[in-house]
Amino acid sequence: MESSQLTSATATELIDLLEGETVSSVEITQAFIQRIQAVDQKVHAFLHLDEEDMIKQAKSSDERRSQGKSLTRLDGIPVGLKDVISAEGQPLTAASKILENYVSPYDATVTRKLKEAGAVIGGRLNLDEFAMGSSTENSAYGPTRNPWNLDCVPGGSSGGSSAAVAAREIPLSLGSDTGGSIRQPASLCGVVGMKPTYGMVSRYGLAAFASSLDQIGPFAQTVEDAALLLEIISGHDPLDSTSYPSHVPSYSRELKAPLEPCKLGLPQEFFGEGMDEEVRKSIDLVIEFYKSKGFEMVELSLPSTDLSIPVYYVIATAEASSNLARYDGIRYTSRSEKASNAIDVYAKSRGEGFGEEVKRRCILGAYALSSGYYDAYYLRAQKTRTLIRQDFDQAFEQVDAILTPTSPTPAFRFGEKSDNPISMYLSDIYTISTNLAGLPGISVPCGFSQSGLPIGMQLIGQALNESKLLSIAHVYDQEHNYGRKAPSL
């Protein structure tokens, strides 16, 4: 088969080709490596690529398949990793200068599960430094560009993970989502991106940003592919104290089961001012589609929504300042050559190693946790977080899922919001509350702006009920396939 046919195929289609012995994993892997070599100089989704190791993994997969010993359906399929997820022997920079020479000595649990499934681990993907940002402009190694318009951002912080799938450089990838960092870039790049329920996917081996919010999840062209990847990486992990001991169903198989029409909630707080008109029109068409399928639309209220942004930026920055204290220039991080004493080592190494946004958030977080301010900020934010979760609990007494836009606008141009942190933070206004409540959310492509930029819709589900959420998303995705459309590079 032609390389372009392989790189444009979904993961499910590639699996069918492998099972039909039409192509080998080596051929698939080589096709994607060639694609990366051809277009990544424009997109800059990858920070590191070990081509020799990928081919070695693919050869092992082909040997297993020839002996009838394939490990899972994902055996032989390349998967890219956001550069905050550990893979033994591979660099882990978190897109920060402070970790520029760090090589991970172990596998994250999700990496181990992918290897046990036979997936070909394919490269390290760019991001906003330490996952702090909404545009991937904060990477110390240069921004990733949106494959649909190279003058626009891909979203963030998992911009490399979303852009790589959109540019057909990799069929599947993993990102992390702390306040929308999977769903927002998925929307801006026109791919499917999912944040699972907090605790469904182990965080062991993930470079922490905000431990009570972070969650690893999949990017793919289709909901079906995302479901397949999610079932591989989900499940209880004793190495993660927040991992939930629940049964993991076969999400991809359950997509094929008939789904009775459901009730979808339309929260009035998500449809007010600030939403781009083209986004509004696309979401209106999504609503009409679900109505045509027999779904009932229920208007409801999530009254604490307007508190999500301030609550998030207290909790997330507080946890970040604590988590990033380990990057001290003494153990595994880069050390300043200008340091003359122990205090210098700490202060100058962090001062030189961290970018402006990381410094901003660490300072904010340290202030919120400082003596005399803890109760006024962090404790109060946690109490308000409970109110946000209770809003969702009450909503799910009426509906099966909640439908909203993913991002208030299509992709914006580089530099458009980087000088105004508040404007940048508002890019995640529709996604943050889902993280605060620990709920699963998925972004599905639902159209394009007049200038050809992707638009995404978000579905929010009940905790630990990824199956129903994926099924509802699949109803739309299988009839529209916006994620199958590819940009011209």
Length of the chain: 489
**According to the model, what pLDDT value does residue 128 have?**
98
**According to the model, what pLDDT value does residue 371 have?**
87
Q: Report how far residue 168's alpha carbon sits from residue 199's, in angstroms, rounded to the nearest whole number.
A: 30
Condensed to tens digits (0 to 9), the pLDDT of residues 248-295 reads: 999 999 999 999 989 999 999 999 888 999 999 999 999 999 999 999
pTM over 0.95, yes/no:
yes
Condensed to tens digits (0 to 9), the pLDDT of residues 46-56 reads: 999 999 999 99
Q: Which CATH superfamily is 3-264+399-484 part of? A: Amidase signature (AS) domain (3.90.1300.10)
CB 391 within 8 A of CB 303: yes
Least confident of 98-112, 297-311, 339-353, 442-456: 339-353
**435 Cβ contact list (under 8 Å, min separation 6):** 177, 178, 179, 180, 195, 198, 213, 215, 312
Query: Hey, is 425 helix, strand or coil?
Result: helix
> Three-state SS across 198-256?
CCCECCCCECCCCCCCCCEEEEECCHHHHHHHHHHHECCCCCCCCCCCCCCCCHHHHCC
AA letter at 198: Y
Residue 332 CB neighbour total at 10 angstroms: 16
Residue-averaged pLDDT of the chain: 96
Condensed to tens digits (0 to 9), the pLDDT of residues 213-244 reads: 999 999 999 999 999 999 999 999 999 999 99
Task: List, as one string, the DSSP characters of 382-394.
Answer: HHHHHHHHHHHHH
Q: Which of 178, 149, 163 has its CA nearest to residue 436?
A: 178
Domain ranges of the chain: 3-264+399-484
Comparing 153 with 336, the larger pLDDT belongs to 153
CA distances to 6, 38, 195, 369 from 411, rounded to whole Å, are 27, 24, 20, 34
Condensed to tens digits (0 to 9), the pLDDT of residues 355-392 reads: 999 999 999 999 999 988 999 999 999 999 999 999 99
Q: Report how far residue 368's alpha carbon sits from residue 374's, in angstroms, rounded to the nearest whole number.
A: 6
**According to the model, what pLDDT value does residue 339 have?**
85
Sheet holding 216-220, edge to edge: 46-48, 120-125, 78-82, 172-176, 216-220, 192-195, 441-448, 454-461, 401-405, 263-267, 296-300
- Residues labelled catalytic: 82, 157, 181
Query: Hey, is 18 helix, strand or coil?
Result: helix
**According to the model, what pLDDT value does residue 426 have?**
80
- Tokens matching residue 322: 């604590």
Q: What is the mean pLDDT of residues 291-308?
A: 97
CB 449 within 8 A of CB 278: yes
Per-residue pLDDT at 408 exceeds 80: yes
